[in-house]
Amino acid sequence: MFLTDNELTRKIWRGKRIEDFVPFCRDADILVHDAQFLPEEIETYRGWGHSDYSTALELAVKAGVKHLILFHHEPSRTDKAEALIEKKCRKLAGKHSADIKIEAAREGSELTL
C-alpha cells in the first residue's frame, strides 16, 4: 500500500478518519504512508494534506500491517531528526504491543518485494 498526501485524523469532521482506510490497508505486508509532521505539530498544519507518524502508526496497527515505512518527510528536517522520529514511532508501537516493523524512508534505499 502506498498512501501519499494523506491527512489522517481522529475526528470525522476534519478529514479522513483512520478507520476509513483500515479496510483498504487490511493485512498489508507493507504500508508506505505520509508522516510529514510530529504529533505535536499536526494541529498547526491541519488542512495541509499530510499526517503525523502517530496516526500513520495507528492506521497500520488497526489494519494489521506488517511493515510501516514513514515517508514524505518535512524538507527542513535533518537525517538525524528523521532517525529520532523513527525511534519515537517504534517506542510508541512498543507501548501498544504492536508487532510491526517500522522504518523511515531514506533516499537511495531499495525495497525488494
CATH number of the domain that residue 7 is part of: 3.60.15.10
Residue 84 within a domain:
yes
Q: What Rg, from alpha-carbon coordinates, does the chain have?
A: 13
User: What is the identity of the amino acid at 25?
Assistant: C
Residue 27 within a domain:
yes
Nearest CA to 74 out of 85, 64, 63 is that of 85
pLDDT computed for residue 15 by the predictor: 58
Give this prediction's pTM: 0.90
User: What is the identity of the amino acid at 54?
Assistant: S
pLDDT computed for residue 13 by the predictor: 54
Residue 11 within a domain:
yes
- Write out the DSSP string of the chain: -EE-S--EESSGGGSEEHHHHHHHHTT-S-EEEE--B-TTTGGGGTTSS--BHHHHHHHHHHHT-SEEEEES--TT--HHHHHHHHHHHHHHHHHTT---EEEE--TT-----
- Total domains in the fold of the chain: 1
pLDDT in tens, 89-104: 999 999 989 999 999 9
